């Protein structure tokens, strides 16, 4: 982050039995109705932005096939307006040119600021490292309440891009900033963001000081780190946040029952929240093996099941409900809220189709909560989109490959990692991950496909069929009357 004197540019300032109860759950998640506009009082103006990290059409299709077969659809797919979103990424070394595959940092930054930037950046300009004002910061300045909800650490790229500014997403804590420097290009090193060098400090420290009304997600490990510059009593970043008047929530029970008129900081995991689903016996996609005649041995089919590690974790829909309640009660002005389903992306990286499907279902339940609120408070704009594409593909079943005349040639089989899922309706669905097929690699990568945007609310009469993330920012700003 570069300090420059132009104040206008600079501001400091992320089973089966459960499917049938989604609708029932979503109708009970709004615990308290928002205040309705009284006669002569204009209705509050609200924006809820839902970001499914890595949730392109292929990932949605995989989850929809598994959960609803060929007839059903997600709540987000019932929204009345949709478009296709081009994802643009600038080159750090030459911002006049583009890259065609993005990361969550630069895309969340564009959704947050309305400016394109380069990979890794947190609401700072490519190469120039100038802070770009975010919609959350502008909304705060206009006395809107604000909130960030995520299944990742709150310091992860997507939530960070809405409320902080950094040369790179790795600059999450003071210690991380020292470590990250050696791994980063010169223009994106964290050192310049350190307070001792005149910067705003780590992402965690910036979040703690950002006066956001609701922060719910993970990241206890980051918030328990020491302040970079501690002039008083060895305080942690969490201490600093609490001194700003936050009520601290750390359990699923507290996330649902604690009621307070103060701001909320909920940290429900050391880093990212546990995911909702896993494969039977922890199965994921696997490399296709061959027998001694060179014939393929495809992985056996498996189903998805609940992840027991998620049991004591608040669901994304529950956190969304709590955030909406806190932001809307006794508030005639309105609010901006960003809700991220972060682990759709993280599970795709790990070639875990059941992890992805469970997270997309959880994300869609959160969208239902937002849509239910918007039905009551009609001056609410709901935007549901993704930041970038990902690696999962729905591909033919083994029988299609085995029927081939070249069935004994390994070249005839899918490259990469392959899984066959038994869907809830009993069908079989094959899924493939092939962006990084090394048997030694643990990690798939993003892809450059367009992502969808689903919209509901006022002001959506002239949405083009092909849009981009800058235009989504402008649409949200227009609704909140921000400039």
The nearest distance, CB 246 to Zn ion, in angstroms, is 29
The residue among 345 and 364 lying less far from Zn ion, judged by its C-beta, is 345
Using CB under 5 A, which residues numbered 274 to 303 contact Zn ion? none
The nearest distance, CB 156 to Zn ion, in angstroms, is 10
The residue among 53 and 129 lying less far from Zn ion, judged by its C-beta, is 53
Closest by CA position to 381, among listed 144, 101, 114: 144
SS3 at position 466: strand
Alpha helix segments (H runs only) across 21-168:
22-28, 57-68, 104-113, 135-141, 157-163
The residue among 44 and 273 lying less far from Zn ion, judged by its C-beta, is 273
**Judged by CB under 5 A, which stretch of 58-66, 110-118, 339-347, 368-376 contacts Zn ion?**
339-347
- Say whether 104 is catalytic: yes
Helix-strand-coil split of the chain, %, nearest 5? 35, 20, 45
The residue among 56 and 345 lying less far from Zn ion, judged by its C-beta, is 345
The nearest distance, CB 54 to Zn ion, in angstroms, is 6
SS3 at position 339: strand
The nearest distance, CB 446 to Zn ion, in angstroms, is 6
The residue among 92 and 345 lying less far from Zn ion, judged by its C-beta, is 345
Q: Please tell me the distance from the alpha carbon of residue 340 to that of residue 52, in angstroms, as a whole number.
A: 6
Strand partners, 278: 305
Indicate the DSSP class of residue 182. G
340 binds Zn ion (CB under 5 A): no
Closest by CA position to 358, among listed 303, 302, 277: 277
**Judged by CB under 5 A, which stretch of 120-128, 217-225, 338-346, 411-419 contacts Zn ion?**
338-346
Q: Which one of 26, 75, 83, 104 is the catalytic residue? A: 104
The nearest distance, CB 49 to Zn ion, in angstroms, is 19
345 binds Zn ion (CB under 5 A): yes
The burial class, CB within 10 Å (0-12 / 13-18 / 19+), for 216 is buried
**Judged by CB under 5 A, which stretch of 310-318, 340-348, 368-376, 392-400 contacts Zn ion?**
340-348
Phi, psi angle pair for 470, to nearest 5°: -65, -40
Yes or no: say if 351 and 434 are a contact pair by the CB < 8 Å rule: no
Output the DSSP codes for 128-174. Answer: T-BB---HHHHHHHTT-EEEEEEEEETTSHHHHHHH--BS-TT-SSH
Alpha helix segments (H runs only) across 164-315:
174-180, 203-208, 220-223, 237-243, 252-257
- The site string for Zn ion over 394-423 (x = CB under 5 A, - otherwise) reads ------------------------------
56 binds Zn ion (CB under 5 A): no
Measured from each CB, the residue nearest to Zn ion is 345
**Judged by CB under 5 A, which stretch of 6-14, 76-84, 239-247, 344-352 contacts Zn ion?**
344-352
Q: What angle do CA 94, 95, 100 make, to 5 degrees?
A: 100
The nearest distance, CB 357 to Zn ion, in angstroms, is 17
The nearest distance, CB 349 to Zn ion, in angstroms, is 6
The residue among 276 and 345 lying less far from Zn ion, judged by its C-beta, is 345
Q: Which residues contact 351 (CB under 8 A, 6 or more apart)?
A: 284, 285, 391, 417, 419, 433, 444
The residue among 60 and 369 lying less far from Zn ion, judged by its C-beta, is 60
Catalytic amino acids?
104
Q: Which residues contribute to the site for Zn ion (CB under 5 A)?
A: 345
């Amino acid at each position: 982050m570069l300090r420059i004197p132009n104040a206008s540019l600079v501001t400091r300032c992320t089973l089966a039995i459960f499917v049938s109860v989604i609708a029932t759950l979503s109708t009970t998640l709004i615990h308290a109705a928002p205040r309705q506009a009284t006669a002569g009082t204009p209705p509050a103006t609200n924006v809820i932005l839902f970001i499914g990290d890595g949730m392109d059409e292929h990932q949605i299709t995989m989850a929809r096939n598994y959960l609803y077969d060929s007839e059903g659809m997600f709540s987000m797919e019932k929204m009345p307006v949709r478009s296709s979103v081009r994802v643009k990424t600038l080159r750090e070394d030459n911002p006049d040119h583009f890259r065609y595959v993005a990361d969550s940092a630069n895309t969340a930054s564009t959704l947050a600021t309305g400016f394109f930037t380069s990979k890794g950046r947190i609401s700072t300009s490519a190469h120039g490292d100038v802070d770009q004002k975010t919609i959350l910061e502008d909304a705060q300045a206009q006395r809107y309440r604000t909130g960030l909800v995520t299944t990742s650490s709150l310091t992860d790229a997507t939530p960070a891009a809405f409320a902080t500014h950094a040369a790179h997403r790795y600059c999450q804590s003071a210690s991380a900033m020292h470590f990250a420097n050696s791994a980063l290009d010169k223009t994106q090193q964290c050192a310049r963001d350190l307070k001792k060098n005149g910067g705003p400090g780590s992402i965690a420290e910036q979040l703690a000081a950002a006066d956001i009304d609701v922060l719910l997600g993970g990241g206890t490990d980051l918030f328990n780190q020491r302040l970079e510059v501690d002039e008083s009593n060895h305080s942690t970043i969490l201490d600093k946040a609490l001194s700003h008047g936050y009520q601290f929530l750390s359990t699923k029970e507290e996330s649902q029952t604690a009621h307070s008129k103060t701001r909320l900081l909920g940290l429900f995991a050391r880093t990212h929240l546990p995911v909702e689903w896993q494969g039977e016996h922890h199965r994921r996609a696997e490399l296709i093996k061959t027998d001694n005649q060179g014939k393929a041995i495809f992985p056996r089919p498996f189903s998805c099941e609940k992840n027991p590690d998620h049991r004591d974790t608040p669901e994304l829909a529950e956190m969304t409900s709590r955030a909406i309640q806190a932001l809307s009660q006794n508030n005639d002005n309105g609010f901006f809220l960003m809700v991220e389903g972060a682990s759709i992306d993280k599970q795709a990286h790990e070639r875990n189709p059941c992890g992805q499907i469970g997270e997309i279902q959880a994300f869609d339940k959160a969208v239902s909560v937002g849509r239910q609120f918007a039905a009551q408070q009609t001056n609410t704009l709901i935007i549901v989109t993704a930041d970038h594409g990902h690696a999962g593909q729905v591909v033919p079943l083994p029988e299609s490959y085995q029927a081939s005349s070249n069935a004994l040639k390994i070249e005839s089989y899918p490259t990469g990692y392959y899984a066959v899922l038994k869907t809830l309706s009993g069908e079989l669905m094959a899924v493939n991950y092939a962006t990084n097929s090394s048997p030694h690699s643990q990690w798939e990568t993003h892809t450059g496909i367009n992502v969808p945007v689903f919209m509901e609310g006022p002001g959506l009469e002239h949405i083009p069929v092909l849009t981009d993330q800058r235009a989504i920012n402008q649409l949200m700003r227009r609704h909140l009357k921000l400039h």
